[in-house]
Structure 1
Amino acid sequence: MFNTRATSRVLPELCKASRSSPLISPQCRHLSDSSGSPAPKDRGRQVWIRAFGIGLVGGLGAAIFQSFTQAHAEAPEPTSHKTKKEISTYKEDVRDQLSSQHLQVKRSWENPGVYAWGSNTGRVIAPDSDEGFIKTPRRIPFFDGVLLRDLKLDRNFGAAITERGDLLQWGTAYSNDSTQPTPTLKGKDLVSLALSRDRIIALSSDGQVYSVPVSKESQETGPKPGEDTWIPFWSVPASISYRLLRTKNPQWGEKVSAISGGLDHVLLMTSGGRLFSAAASGERFPSKGQLGIPGLTWNTRPAGPYDQPHEVVTLRGFDIVGIAAGDYHSLVLDKDGRIFTFGDNSLGQLGFDYNSEATVIDTPSLLPIQRLYQGSNMTPKATGVSAGGSNSFITVDATPVAGQSDGNAPQRGLGRITADTFSCGQGIWGGLGNGRWTHIQGTPTKIKALSGLFEWDETTNRIVPIRLARISVGSTHASATMDNVTRISSNAKTSASDTNYGADVLWWGGNEFYQLGTGKRNNLSSPGYIAPLDIDADREKGRREEHRFQVTPGKCVRVNGRNVNLEQRVECGRFVSAVYSGV
């Protein structure tokens, strides 16, 4: 098999000259779309090929690669008279010139922080500015050199968890006088966040779930629970008002392990595979079935706190491994790859056709993903769920099996997994990512640009499917981080043309507040790329052509004089987007 990674050592001129050839891409990853539809353009920096083209690469690659390497030599190595430091500096300079992706990886390690863009009416993207929009990625100065465990953004307020596990808040909904993030809930070792209409739901490392009001005034004037001190049997009031959401009858060693929230509700998944749901807003009680408890309303709620968690008993016995919440609907994934949905279905976001007489489904209902592969001899298994606004996304691994009518005839590709992504819900702003502007989409449709993709993995020496590492969904837009092969191990001992590169990120959906980061305001119905976050760094290297943004995968690097495991993560919120340095 032709070694595709070897082509990463040729100069950019070679890549430009070979754009018409399906054998070479600037990052040397051969991608194919088994659906037969082309993936989104990569501004000349990546070539997507069909699955059947992989066979031709094996037969012709060696000869073509030999002719390329003879015509274009590798970047020259420095002479032996230079010191090790000089050689290392020389190599880094060459790599920065060769690859925009290498420069992006390098800058993400040297300058960790938060880039954000979109609506700034709540002073979330630029806390110290009165600008209404931030059209392209801009750093928030407060977070320069700061590492975060999690980040969630609304149009009018933002919340983040510091490396130490403390909660930061900012935005006009927190305080009109807020000009930078302020520590609020401290000392709880928080690990993840979910936002509701007016509260922040925070999960700690020990499984405690905190419900904190967004407003600074409510934090100061609301009831403050007692907290234990180092003195036995002595407690003091908490510094701010908050509520604890406690699940009932926990099993031995069981704790809440994941949370996901909508405007009025939050889902709680436990380490024992159980699912709980609770009211998450102080303004409105969930009324569209998104709790998964049949008949539960404000008038029928049981005695006790209005936001007490309720076990979704319909799913008792299923081992829940994934949860996702949109504004008014919920998705649940179990370990066997089954998906259950409940809540509002007025736009088809539950994966069922719209029914004007029953727009709400308050009982978890099994989504038959087998029907999506009917007649294809493919056996599907759901691997992930994501949701936001009125949209839902499902990732599926489909494995071909021999059909009954095939007899003894050999079949190619048996057992080879194909990774697909489906969407349903509201697509009027392009939020479904399927290339259509559909108002209501009940039956999930395949996102061809994110489905049926393959690449050659040198570690295992085989063709592997390209899955999605994560989908982040805002109210009208979304972003997908690909789980493609990455490289972050070039060093002083490797060739000067051995460059690093990260994971591809694609964006689509509503762009009315510039939340897609393209610098333009037009919506996108198909996934596309954006420019690098630090575009000026590219221009400093003399590059005139456009390059795509990639996120840096996790690696232990030195930051502020210490070693930390750092990675970049993407977050889509309500009309806003961000990329942050996560730990």
Structure 2
Amino acid sequence: MLSRLAARRTSPFQVAKTSQWVRYASSGKPRTRLPIIPLFAVAGASGAAVLAYPYVFNSKASVAETPEVVFEKPRKKTRSKEVLQDPLGSQHAQVKKSWEQPGVYAWGSNAGRVVAPDSDEPVIKTPRRIGYFDGQLLRDLKLDREFGAAVTEKGDLVQWGNAFAPNTAAPVVTLKGKGLVKIATSKDRVIALSSNGSVYSVPVSSADQATGEKATHSSWIPFWSGSASISYRPLTPQLGWGEKVVDIKSGLEHCLLLTSKGRVFSAASSTESFPSRGQLGIPGLTWQTRPKGPFDQPHEITSLSGHTIKEISTGDFHSLALDKEGRVFVFGDNSCGQLGSEMKVEAPYVDEPSRLRVDKLYTGTNLRPKVTSVAAGGLNSYFTVDATKFQDRNTTEVVPARELGRIAAETWACGEGIKGNLGNGKWTHISSGPTKIKALSDLNEFDEKTNSVIPIRLSGLSVGNSHACAILDNATNVSASGDSSSDTNYGADILWWGWNEYYQLGTSKRSNVNVPTYIAPLDGCELGESTRMQITPRKTVRLGEGGSGRKASVEQRVTCGRQVTGIFSSA
């Protein structure tokens, strides 16, 4: 069985977890999912059976007798229940600290005093906590080189950075009482979504918030109304009965709104410039041809009306939409091939959604693809695919019965790659089509519940303007009690790649990275050279030292922005 499983492709992720596999395999404790490790890795890691050859010499003849093979007995190790001096110990410590000390870590460019508001350092090379958010859970966080924005656990908007208020270092609560759940950012505005589906466009600048036109709101007191405390603009699409906006995404000049019925609306999201590269998905819509009314009024993308869209994403000047059937539609700027097709000099923009033919990537492979998620940022697009093995009658290759139905989870990228942001190991200015990120594709692990090998998918992708990270949906454990040294928590693996001029990858080096790579754990968890950063999946726990605080559902999430990166504790 082992030899057959070992023949499968092994990823860097799988090799990195060798010591973890050996520990669980030898401890006898059940584990739901185990990564597939090659035989040589298991043999190399199993240090319990060490051969010793004690030679006994005759003092008179000085002739060696036949050596006796002796197996060394396992050595006893003194271990702390909470801190183990091996990779698993680091993983356990990371999970433990994420619950005891929730907050925000940030790194990268500090030109706008965003990642370190109280510091004049130009760059922050490794993850550092933003003290204002210590002990806080956030609903969302977005970081840009010049400004930061967050949604508190109560649903209020918090803003900071030079673009917000150059003379104010500490974050400030701005938009209150709207029950916000998520935000997106453009060049100069924050697009905010409330729990009831209302969408607000808020200026980044506190000066604009103070001097701009303020909305009038009614009160529960009869015949009384008042003005909002800051200036903002409501974005109100024409919705049907029972329909509401459930997701928002924004590029530098445009935003997309996804409704509960799978419809998509687009709108201008910046006051500095009107979208002009087709990213709105409305053919012929320009500043000159726009209809009467607010310049940022939402427009339904009618070309998508025959499809139930379940996910949207935006880059700087392009857009992606994924429907429930696994089909991807792209529109906007294609100057670097970010729409998944070769750039045409005579037509660098596509102003109407067109289908990205992912099926052509699998021609003749006996694999039937279905796109499962999309992500975009800067001049890049990414998408994940479940490719199912089947017998294609148009090929001569015969697929063994045991392989039919097997799923290969793969990740693809397109667009700019000169800074390593394609993640495919190459440095290319533009792409003529999607390329596979091999380090994030065809990963597998063993599931003891089903007694079968299953694919390791991505649980999330976060994309900045030229760097990205992927969170693996690998086996995790957050139910360990800590009462035993072998009862250990461990989180989800996370890998980074792309531009690193401002240390936004967190490697503490400035060189760009063109393949997904691990970085060191967050502060206070570095227990060995082989440790790596992991983030904690959602769990209901008691916060604070020793679980002495309030009970809450919490997870760690990642946000990649323009030359900056952050990790936060999410409510």
Identify whether the pair has TM-score above 0.5, normalized to the shorter chain: yes
Instruction: Return the letter of the residue paired with 2:487.
Output: D
Structure 1 residue 164 and structure 2 residue 154: aligned? yes
Gap change, CA 1:393 and 1:56, over 3 Å in 2: closer
Please tell me whether the aligned partners of residues 373 and 383 of structure 2 are also in contact (alpha carbons under 8 angstroms).
yes
CA-CA distance at 1:327 after TM superposition: 0.2
Query: Aligned partners of 1:317, 1:308: CA distance in 2, in Å?
Result: 22
Question: Contact 2:112/2:145 (CA < 8 Å) preserved in 1?
Answer: yes
Normalised to the residue count of structure 1, the TM-score between the two structures is 0.86
Take 1:282 and 1:532, find their aligned partners in 2: how far apart are those partners? 40
Query: How far, CA to CA, are the matches of 2:281 and 2:345 in structure 1?
Result: 20
The residue type equivalent to 1:472 in the other structure is: S
* 3-state SS of 2:320 partner: strand
2:416 matched residue in structure 1: 426
Larger radius of gyration: 2
SS in 2 for 1:220: helix
How many angstroms does 1:457 deviate by?
A: 2.1
Which of 539, 547, 567 matches 1:555?
539
Whether the 8 Å CA contact 1:338–1:367 is kept in 2: the answer is yes
Q: For 1:463-502, what aligned pairs fall within 5 Å after superposition?
A: 463-491=453-481, 495-502=484-491
Note the C-alpha offset of 1:44: 8.0
Cα pair distance change 1:156/1:407, threshold 3 Å: closer
The residue number in structure 2 matching 1:83 is none
Give the direction of change, closer, same or farther, for the CA distance of 1:33–1:382 in structure 2 (3 Å limit): farther
Once the two structures are TM-superposed, the CA of residue 178 in structure 1 deviates from its matched residue by 1.6
Counterpart of 2:368 in structure 1 is 379
> 8 Å contact 2:36–2:446 — kept in the other structure?
no
SS at match of 1:434: coil
Q: Label 1:188 to 1:72 Cα distance change in 2 as closer, same or farther (>3 A).
A: farther
Q: Residue 569 of structure 1 is aligned with which of 549, 557, 560?
A: 557
SS state at 2:553 partner: strand
Deviations 1:59-101 (A, max 9, x none): x99xx89969x977597799xxxxxxxxxxx532458895111
- With 236-245 and 452-461 compared, the bigger mean Cα shift is at 452-461
Q: Displacement, 1:459?
A: 3.5
Matched, 1:345 2:329: no
Give the whole-Å Cα distance in 1 for the aligned partners of 2:350 and 2:432. Answer: 13
Per mean C-alpha deviation after superposition, the further-off stretch among 456-465 and 345-354 is 456-465
Give 1:105 shift: 0.7
Instruction: Give yes or no for contact 2:150–2:157 (8 Å, CA) kept in 1.
Output: yes
Q: Is the 8 A contact 1:454 1:463 kept in 2?
A: yes
Alignment-derived partner of residue 273 in structure 1: 262
Given the superposition, is the C-alpha separation of residues 335 and 233 from structure 1 closer, same or farther in structure 2, using an over 3 Å criterion? farther
Residue type matched to 2:136 in 1? V
> CA shift at 1:234, angstroms?
2.7
Q: Aligned in 2, Cα 1:253/1:429: closer, same or farther, shift over 3 Å?
A: same
SS at match of 1:371: helix
- CA gap 1:446/1:47 in 2 versus in 1, 3 angstroms: farther
Deviations 1:464-490 (A, max 9, x none): 111111110001100001111101111
2:171 to 157, 173, 181: 181
Distance verdict in 2 for CA 1:563–1:409, change over 3 Å: closer
Which residue of 2 is the match for residue 324 of structure 1?
313
How many percent of aligned residue pairs carry the same amino acid?
Answer: 57
Q: 1:179–1:409: structure 2 CA closer, same or farther, 3 Å change rule?
A: closer
- SS of the equivalent of 2:291 reads coil
Name the CA distance, whole Å, in 1 between partners of 2:126 and 2:266.
Answer: 37
Q: Contact conserved, 1:457 with 1:485, CA < 8 A, in 2?
A: no
1:411 Cα offset (Å)? 3.7
Amino acid at match of 2:381: S
Correspondence list, 1:71-220, <5 A: 91-94=81-84, 99-220=89-210
Give the CA deviation at 1:442. Answer: 2.8
What is the deviation of 1:283?
0.6
Contact kept? 1:194, 1:261, Cα under 8 Å: yes
Does the aligned pair in 1 maintain the 2:254–2:269 contact within 8 Å? yes
Show the counterpart of 1:364: 353
**1:453 aligns to 2:437 (yes or no):** no
> Which residue number in structure 2 is paired with residue 301 of structure 1?
290
In the superposition, relative to structure 1, how do residues 462 and 240 fare at CA in structure 2: closer, same or farther (>3 Å)? same
The answer on whether the counterparts of 2:252 and 2:317 sit within 8 Å (CA) in structure 1 is yes
Match of 2:248 among 259, 268, 273: 259
> Given the superposition, is the C-alpha separation of residues 462 and 66 from structure 1 closer, same or farther in structure 2, using an over 3 Å criterion?
farther
- Unpaired runs of at least 5, structure 1: 3-21, 24-29, 79-89
Report the AA paired with residue 430 of structure 1.
G
Q: Distance in 1 between matches of 2:176 and 2:120?
A: 29
Q: How many residue pairs align between the two structures? A: 530
Residues 276 and 491 (structure 1), Cα distance of their counterparts in 2 relative to 1, 3 Å cut: same
RMSD of aligned residue pairs (Cα, Å): 2.8
Are 2:399 and 1:415 aligned?
no
1:507-546 pair list within 5 angstroms: 507-534=496-523, 536-538=524-526, 543-546=527-530
Structure 2 CA distance for partners of 1:280 and 1:408, relative to 1, 3 Å: closer
Checking the alignment, whether the CA contact within 8 Å between 2:83 and 2:90 is kept in structure 1 is: no
- Please report how far the alpha carbon of residue 537 of structure 1 lies from its aligned counterpart in structure 2 after TM superposition: 3.9
**1:284 matched to which residue of 2?**
273
2:566 is equivalent to residue 578 of structure 1: yes
Which string of whole-angstrom CA distances, capped at 9 and with x for unpartnered residues, describes residues 244-269 of structure 1? 00011x12210000000000000000
Contact conserved, 2:87 with 2:531, CA < 8 A, in 1? Answer: no
* Residue 439 in structure 1 maps to residue 429 in structure 2: yes
- Cα separation, 2, equivalents of 1:154 and 1:101: 29
The structural deviation recorded for 1:47 is 9.0
Deviation at 1:41, TM superposition (A): 7.4
Deviations 1:432-484 (A, max 9, x none): 10111010013100000000000112343321111111110001100001111
SS of the residue corresponding to residue 286 of structure 2 reads coil
Shift of 1:547: 1.2
Consecutive unaligned residues in structure 2, runs of 5 or more: 23-34, 51-70
Tell me: CA distance 1:280–1:187, structure 2 relative to 1, closer, same or farther (3 Å).
same
Alpha-carbon separation, structure 1, partners of 2:75 and 2:488: 12
Q: Secondary structure at the match of 2:81?
A: helix
Q: 1:261 to 1:285 in 2, by over 3 A?
A: same
Question: For the structure 1 residues 75 and 317, does the alpha-carbon distance in structure 2 shift closer, same or farther, using more than 3 Å as the test?
Answer: farther
Give the aligned residue type for 1:143: F
